[in-house]
Amino acid sequence: MKVGELLELVEEAIGDIKVAIVANQMRSFESPYTSLEFTQRAVELQEDLNELVRLRDRLLALDPETDAEEVFGQDDLEKLLEYFKLLRESKSHLY
């Protein structure tokens, strides 16, 4: 996998997390009984977003044609791809 392809996945994940943050922030106003839960989830998602933005900045500094395995190693790249897969499947903005 090339760094450019990985960057596209990071951008997609950033977009998904931004939507989930807004959804959780909006849901925090629905009920005083669940507001803390949704607010905490939005804060957790913001931390994930910050990590992804740092990763994106790191990837932008690299040549898009570089192999991602050279930068991250096979194990780390597999974990990262699994993380993106879970993010895509979770759709946390729907809950």
Domain residue ranges of the chain, discontinuous segments joined by +: 3-94
For residue range 31-49, what is the model confidence (pLDDT) as tens digits?
Answer: 888 889 999 999 999 999 9
Kindly state the average pLDDT of the residues 66-93.
85
Residue 72 pLDDT more than 80? yes
pLDDT, position 55:
94
Q: What mean pLDDT is predicted for residues 50-57?
A: 96
Two tokens at 64? 């898009």
- Residue 3 neighbours by CB distance under 10 Å: 21
Average pLDDT, the chain: 89
Structure tokens at 44: 């957790």
93 confidence band (pLDDT: 50, 70, 90): low
